[in-house]
Structure 1
Amino acid sequence: MKLINKSILTVVISLSTASVYYAQQTQDTVKSKSKDIEEVILKGVTDIAKDRKTPVAASNIKAAQIVERLGNQELPELLNTTPSVFATKAGGGFGDSGIVIRGFESRNIAVMVNGMPVNDMETGTVYTSNWTGLSDVTSGIQVQRGLGSSKLAIASVGGTINYITRSADMKQGGVIRLGVGNNDYLKTSFAYNTGKSKDGWSSSFLLSRQAGSTYAENTEYESYAYFFALGFQPNAKHNFQFMMTSAPQWHDQRYTSNSLGDYFKYNPSQDGTPFREYSSDYGYRTNADGKKETITNKANYYAKPVIMLNWDWKISDKSTLSTVAYMSNGRGGGVSDIGRVNGKFASGYINPTPGSGGHIDYDQIYAANALVDVNSPATASGTSTLIRRSSVNAHNWYGILANFQHKINDNWNFSVGTDDRYYYGYHYMVATDLYGAKGYKDNTNKNLATPNVITNTYDYKKLTWNPFGGSQPPMSDRLSFSNDGEVLWYSGFGQVEYSTDKLTVYAQGSVSNQGFQRIDNFVLDGSKAANGQINNTKTGFKNLFGYNIKGGANYNINEHHNVFANLGYYSKQPFMNSVYPSNQQFLNPNLTNEKISSFEVGYGYRSAKFNASVNLYRTQWSDRWLRKSMNFDMGTAGILPGYAEISGITEVHQGVEFEGNYKPFSFLEFNGMFSLGDYHYVGNANGATFDNNNNPIAVPGTDKNSTTLYLDGIKVGGTNFNSIPQMTSALGFTAIPVQDLRIYGTWRHVGKVYGSMDAGTFTKPGGEILKLKDFDLFDVGISYKIRLRDEKQYFTVGGNVYNLFDLSYISDAGGNYVKTTDKINPNAKPTDPDYGVTYEQAGQVYKGVAYGNKVFFGAPRTWAATISFNF
């Protein structure tokens, strides 16, 4: 970054979604005081929150911690030692981890790479598997909890995570690294930096490969990562930085959350303990040689390169302009089964014998598929053969951000700018394996005169998706759906700040317009259906206006004590699946922005040996929208399918957080955190009811076309089998008994854990949500540096053990809550042996959870070791 004035706290916008307000700039390096990210080269418009300046709750993970402690974990798991953060491996597949901050999941957390947003522009979600290469190139991570200091209307309801990568002008040198671990984990990488030349040129690159499997059954994977950065600083006024990175990968998944009882039933040892690694998402088939081959039913593959070009222009000693242009094209999708044969899905062919392993018998599926004549008019579409398909989710994403900063005087400065983006998403299905069938009959493409028999398949491990172009499969090879999503984003922002040695005050606001359009390739257009032309039926853009306003202040009482406060209000546009509900060409008539209000107060203490921060927060999330499918019993007229449009759902997330570190001696340091939250729904919610033709319909037994969700006081749970804890704590140490030897360990407690929930099921008063047993985990590690004669050359060896005591615990749970007092078989007859028997009576309870609940177990004891050579 350019030197503006060392005494000035400049306002810097990060690429596309600024994460911070105050960054004291030097020409090449932004270094921290106290606990901020150290030794991170920041270029372009990336910035970080400054301790005792930025009035937000923030935590930092330094580069040394990433290198020492990551091992074969997922990158978000490193954040588990920060307050109010909960990251799990979810199903356990490579890159399938989930993260929660202050009770909010990833779609409501702003995730950025050097300030560039990576939340999906249609759904807000973040897929860690798309960003596995970040572990190789990240120099630091900053987590801001709450609305944070971002100027833009981004998804920072729960917080902001900013991954700060390497820079082109790092010091000259390189590193070769080798890592091994449990389940055949193997990772190799090579990186080199040229340093900055006399002419102002610099470059950096990295290549890596990672392969193996995770602890869960049948979770093989292969991932590559590449990174290239090129910098050019022709003079003192201009600085250009180019960066490109990606991590193409495929991985088999454990996606299905099985009932707790299955982990006992299918344990091959039948020793009465849960088989935590169990997965029902694969099976075996006998090939032509009489040998069993493994077939995967759930998998993911993706490549998402990111390209950024930053230009910093020092107009004068008082004014600067930072501009960033970027693109991020994604290609890939997820694999699962579709259709039925003999009336059963793939899960219906699981061997039910206890101790059998509980895997899919593909010999039966192949045999049943072979008997189906897909060309017969009597063969029903989608219900006569069972195949494996890939649901493609590809996109092209382009953006530009410009930020002008001006110093008025020694205390006052302001910034204004614009953030503009364009996104086009492609969504469709193709077949990947016919499982012995002669084809798959599909009638969803209304542009085809007769049902389409699909015979072509695409191997998800060999798909050569070109992120910068390439051809898409023809419409005749697509099944189930084919639609596109288009998003236009325009925004403007501004901020004014006042700063002295003791006091920093800011006020800022932003406005944004998001336009959504849905394009359905399978919708019939009578004027074109006759000659077989495809009609890309467009809904037209629906424009939604949003804004936010924020303010905050930090006051340094003296060199040890400081206090801060912030507040904000955010009018947030809904996601695309709310604009066009149930993935249909139908505009939601009840669209309204979600409203988020938040305030926070905090206190900090800093000294040579002890640092601590305490903060209190409260966030209210109102006017959430939910579409709930319903079946209406119309008496003699039968069952009428329909839905309800639920609006007015309100959540409150509030709590207290503590974070601190104590260094009694130069060779010993302790770090700790504690967070206690209260996340619950406030009030009930009502919604209008409709049939599937979008006609209002009265709920049977009433004269009202409305329904009620009884949510008042219910604890907030996650979605898609992600649990949410409301209490976390951690205590760790780092010891250096001799020079270059580091020993570290961490104890982590997770409590008040609530499983995922479907708010739409609370149609009667008195609903409950599953609460899991608290758990405690211990991780340990060691590293040693072997120095050579040349001080720039050295070896580093290290190792980590996670879940040291091999604790068996449930990390995630979901589905309908089954109580221990519920009957195992509510449909049992009086003559049946299990008639009236509850889970509790049958002894089918594990750590307070009935066997009927769907769960994921946390990882057993795992390990990783690394050796690297720096030169």
Structure 2
Amino acid sequence: MKRYLFLFIALIAFPLISTAQINGQVFDAETNQPLPGANVVVEDTQTGTSTDAEGEFTIDAEEGDVLVISFVGYNTQEVTAEQGMEIFLQPDEEMLGEIVVSSNVIDIARARETPVAVSTITPAEISQEIGNQEFPEIMNKTPGAYATKQSGGYGDSRISLRGFDQNNTAFLINGQPVNDMENGWVYWSNWQGLTDVASGIQIQRGLGATNLAVPSVGGTISIFTKTAEQEKGGSVSQLVGNDGYTKTAASYNTGLGDNGWSASFLLSYWQGNGYVNNTSGEGWTYFGAVGYDPNDSHSFNLSVLGAGQWHHQRGTNVSIRDFQNFGDDGIDPRWNSNGGTLNGEAFNMERNFYNKPLATLNWDWNISDNVSLATSLYGSAGRGGGTGPRGNNYFNSAIDLYPFGGGQYQEDLTAHYLEGGDGAASRKEDGSINFDNVVDVNRSTTSGYNGALGAYNGQLIGSHGYSENGVNNAVLVRRASMNSHNWFGGISKLEAEVDKFTLSLGVDLRKYTGYHYRALNNLMGLDGYFSGGDDSNGNQNSLGKILESENTIEASPFHDTGISGPKIDYYNLGLVNWQGVNGMVEYDSGDMFTAVIQGGVSNQSYQREDFFDQQGNALSEKKNVLGGYVKGGANFNISDRHNVFANAGFISKQPLFDAVFPGFANDINPDLQNEQITSIELGYGYTSYAFDVNVNLYSTVWGNRFVERTIPDPNNPNQDATAQFDDVDQRHNGIEVETTVRPTNNLRLDGTLSVGDWKYTNNFNATLFDEDRNEIGTSTLYTDGVKVGDAAQFVGYLGADYRLGDWSIDAGYRYVDNLYANYSITDDAFADPDNEGALKLPSYGLVDLGSTFRFDFFGQSASLRVNVNNLFDTTYISESETNYHAASGDETWNGIHNRNFVWFGFGRTWNASLKYNF
């Protein structure tokens, strides 16, 4: 593989030679002062330079060429080259390189000004490289980021920053927080449309620059979307990819009219069979924005973004030996133990479906020359959930399809099906499921109903627990677990510039209601389903209620999701409100020194309402928890090339919803406490056209965590005890490097390096409580020095981009090491002082290749793009869900015990797209 890399670099390393030169100077249009460090590039090439300390430049170009002049914080200009030219750039607070920012509520980190570690991904990079990849994967080149496809279904990906998962990384879309208000997670299947409408991404690692009190432990990922663009025109595109993937998109911008109105629209449709077996899916992305600029003082923008989709999933864990024993020879990363056929079509017990439209109204008001008010109001009504099996099907060996835990290792499909024979009647020779046989077994083993509900006499009724009067609980049906929500919020920021100071004061208000329940989706051949579990029915609960086919919902994002219909198993609401205030003081000397201090306080209120189970306490008391942060930093520009910065901060982070109401009950946790995060960072930067480099050193402590574990009662082995561990801490130290080199006018090299040392800081003691909450003893977790898992602690990336006129080719190599298994520190292994710690997974390296050709078509611009990911079809483990260490004599794969449940990354994939602009 190395010789291919060397050959590739050798082929692209021959520069074009230019002989003519143009001299000029770049100024700030408001101050008439020279702009050092501005970029000057010949249009559609990589021929470029940057201005010196006096704003002067010399570039290999000829008179008549088009030069593109850009500088962070200023409008980009395109000018015709001529000797001795002078260019005056207009400042624009709403510009971030190529990225158009939709509102001033968005907090942007600016190069050589904001003292945080930041990386920016441009619209061109997103549109070219994302193809049919998952949206978070575009950030894998960023230092500190680790994104995987997880189980491999469309939208089932995740990303971490500096070793912190999505619960502890803040995600903003146009400045609005989108982490789930209850569990803090981000479901990328809800945001499939971001690949079509994203106009840029800024990854602020560490404390970040946002004023909002958001979970910026690992960092803040700020995503910008299209607005009502003021340039008239549109585009159509067609993308095709591996495994039947297609996406068709069309967009149009009206442009800014004389009356100040503008509008933009986008619609796209995608579908695919999925790289993983039985993970097909499809979805629509819809976007519309209307802008109104009545005068220089006011600007309005109303937008609606949504991405309704459904996709089959691979939610059941798969062991290494399952990957080996099923599917093609060797490791088959496509294997899916959930998949099969029903009525001759692909069918899967696990299917995700969701539609989450987000509506936003932005109003920017320039009150005076130095005072402005930016306000954003938003609302979202997410509807959907995921399907899965329901019923005690494991009582019937013919439909006992899914492994269950037990023994030293969890049971995998090899033990369950190949060795134990469970479910053999309903699995085919290749291990896939014959769901037609499941239907037959459901019907053949269920006798007619003969209970008190006479209208159902003789019908075939199944259930999950009830097994009287002819009701059969040894059946398998498909239920839908629903997690819908209504979410409304508002952000407003008042900003004033006083001499060299910028002062801001903001508010952040959110109101969230989460709807959690189960509904029937597919009766799998039965006539009805007996539903208990609803204690609110009183005497009716002894009879339960029978739901028929008309009471089922479709697993589709654009149909009734049953929020007002009959429900089974559970039905509760999560009520979360948020009130926050924040402030900032920033000092800017003008060209050398900036300093900022930010602070905020927030109140988060929690309340839980249960319509089924918590009789006598259906609506919990409301719990208010205060949190907040303080952070600050400074940046010093040593010269027009060198700068250094430092920042530090403290965050008091409110707990997640389930920590407030443990055990799915309405009783408030009496031991509730905030997590505490402290962070410090140092950075250095050097910039020129030929060479840029940024280096960051960081140390973050995530502490005061509360962990609860159930263990056998040492005084009564027949009962359970609860161990409550307080003040659990982990420290994340690391160094990050990001660099760009332009050795020739046509060649650009990009490199990043992340080296982390993330581990638990000590052993942790716990107090033991019996079932009656009496203190009965202590327990210890032996985690001192244990590595943090689920994200690579060493990642290196090298990319090359070579342009020759209208054609370009780019390649990247990414090396991953020091990746440890995901685990819980409450696993039994960590009760042993001699435990082996975290399981280290094999390192791996991946090569991606892409090429773009731009051409004219009927007088308009068009482009053809081809991407090949994992060019050499490398087999690798991207994450492990278990932490089993291999002993002598154990069967292994690359040194890893083959009983571990892992996700293998995708093999070679490809996509090609054709885009026409008009």
The yes-or-no answer on 1:446 pairing with 2:535 is yes
- Aligned with residue 696 of structure 1, among 774, 784, 802: 774
- Aligned with residue 131 of structure 1, among 191, 200, 218: 191
- Aligned with residue 276 of structure 1, among 308, 316, 333: 333
The yes-or-no answer on 1:182 pairing with 2:239 is no
- Aligned with residue 402 of structure 2, among 347, 363, 367: 347
The yes-or-no answer on 1:684 pairing with 2:763 is yes
Cα–Cα, structure 1 residues 223 and 97, in superposed 2: closer, same or farther, change >3 Å? same
Partner of 1:433: 522
The yes-or-no answer on 1:372 pairing with 2:427 is no
Partner of 2:915: 868
- Structure 1 distance, partners of 2:578, 2:910, is 44
Cα–Cα, structure 1 residues 758 and 614, in superposed 2: closer, same or farther, change >3 Å? same
Residues 214-269 of structure 1, C-alpha deviations (whole Å, 9 max, x = no match) = 210001000100111111011111111111100000000111221110111113x4
Write the mapping of 1:458-537 to structure 2, written as runs, cut at 5 A: 458-462=552-556, 464-465=558-559, 472-474=563-565, 477-500=566-589, 501-523=591-613, 525=615, 537=618
Gaps of 5+ in 1: 9-21, 527-535, 699-703, 718-722, 823-837
- Aligned with residue 639 of structure 1, among 701, 718, 726: 718
- Aligned with residue 498 of structure 2, among 408, 418, 427: 408
SS in 1 for 2:137: helix
Contact 2:200 2:223 (8 Å CA) reproduced: yes
Distance apart, 1:707 and its partner CA: 2.5
- Structure 2 distance, partners of 1:549, 1:319, is 24
Distance apart, 1:789 and its partner CA: 6.5
Write the mapping of 1:237-256 to structure 2, written as runs, cut at 5 A: 237-256=297-316
- Structure 1 distance, partners of 2:210, 2:365, is 22
Q: Which moved more, 1:380-389 or 1:83-92?
A: 380-389
Residue type of the alignment partner of 2:286: Y
Distance apart, 1:155 and its partner CA: 1.1
Gaps of 5+ in 2: 1-27, 34-70, 78-88, 404-412, 422-427, 452-465
Partner of 2:40: none
Percent of matched pairs sharing the same residue? 37
- Aligned with residue 127 of structure 2, among 36, 49, 67: 67
- Structure 1 distance, partners of 2:91, 2:733, is 33
Q: Which moved more, 1:593-602 or 1:61-70?
A: 61-70
RMSD: 2.7
Aligned residues: 795
Residue type of the alignment partner of 2:401: A
Cα–Cα, structure 1 residues 389 and 471, in superposed 2: closer, same or farther, change >3 Å? closer
Contact 1:210 1:224 (8 Å CA) reproduced: yes
Structure with higher Rg: it is 2
- Aligned with residue 712 of structure 1, among 769, 784, 794: 784
Partner of 2:460: none
- Structure 1 distance, partners of 2:729, 2:91, is 41
Write the mapping of 1:214-253 to structure 2, written as runs, cut at 5 A: 214-253=274-313
Distance apart, 1:648 and its partner CA: 1.3
- Structure 2 distance, partners of 1:23, 1:640, is 64
Cα–Cα, structure 1 residues 75 and 210, in superposed 2: closer, same or farther, change >3 Å? same
- Structure 2 distance, partners of 1:686, 1:430, is 42
- Structure 1 distance, partners of 2:92, 2:795, is 27
Residue type of the alignment partner of 1:520: D
- Aligned with residue 813 of structure 2, among 726, 744, 747: 747
Residues 626-658 of structure 1, C-alpha deviations (whole Å, 9 max, x = no match) = 2223343655xx622353332211010110000
- Structure 2 distance, partners of 1:363, 1:687, is 51
- Structure 2 distance, partners of 1:232, 1:382, is 62
Contact 2:446 2:472 (8 Å CA) reproduced: no
Contact 1:168 1:230 (8 Å CA) reproduced: yes
Residue type of the alignment partner of 1:643: T
Distance apart, 1:763 and its partner CA: 2.1
Distance apart, 1:24 and its partner CA: 4.0
Partner of 1:796: 863
Contact 2:521 2:555 (8 Å CA) reproduced: no
Partner of 2:458: none
- Structure 2 distance, partners of 1:565, 1:854, is 41
- Aligned with residue 159 of structure 2, among 82, 93, 99: 99
Residues 694-740 of structure 1, C-alpha deviations (whole Å, 9 max, x = no match) = 52352xxxxx1x332222111112xxxxx311000100010012x11
- Structure 2 distance, partners of 1:415, 1:44, is 12
Partner of 1:825: none
Contact 2:245 2:271 (8 Å CA) reproduced: yes
Cα–Cα, structure 1 residues 433 and 577, in superposed 2: closer, same or farther, change >3 Å? same
The yes-or-no answer on 1:569 pairing with 2:650 is yes
The yes-or-no answer on 1:78 pairing with 2:138 is yes
Partner of 1:19: none
Contact 1:810 1:856 (8 Å CA) reproduced: yes
Distance apart, 1:464 and its partner CA: 3.7
The yes-or-no answer on 1:332 pairing with 2:384 is yes
- Structure 1 distance, partners of 2:592, 2:648, is 20
Residue type of the alignment partner of 1:319: V
Distance apart, 1:788 and its partner CA: 4.3
Residue type of the alignment partner of 2:670: P
Distance apart, 1:523 and its partner CA: 2.7
Distance apart, 1:519 and its partner CA: 0.6
Distance apart, 1:352 and its partner CA: 2.8
- Structure 1 distance, partners of 2:195, 2:803, is 25
Cα–Cα, structure 1 residues 846 and 342, in superposed 2: closer, same or farther, change >3 Å? closer
- Structure 2 distance, partners of 1:368, 1:473, is 32
SS in 2 for 1:780: strand
The yes-or-no answer on 1:542 pairing with 2:623 is yes
Cα–Cα, structure 1 residues 369 and 382, in superposed 2: closer, same or farther, change >3 Å? closer
Q: Which moved more, 1:436-445 or 1:753-762?
A: 436-445
- Aligned with residue 226 of structure 2, among 158, 166, 171: 166
Contact 2:73 2:92 (8 Å CA) reproduced: no
Distance apart, 1:357 and its partner CA: 2.3
Partner of 2:730: 651
Contact 1:340 1:382 (8 Å CA) reproduced: no
- Structure 2 distance, partners of 1:730, 1:342, is 47
SS in 1 for 2:128: helix
Residue type of the alignment partner of 1:784: F
- Aligned with residue 297 of structure 1, among 332, 336, 349: 349
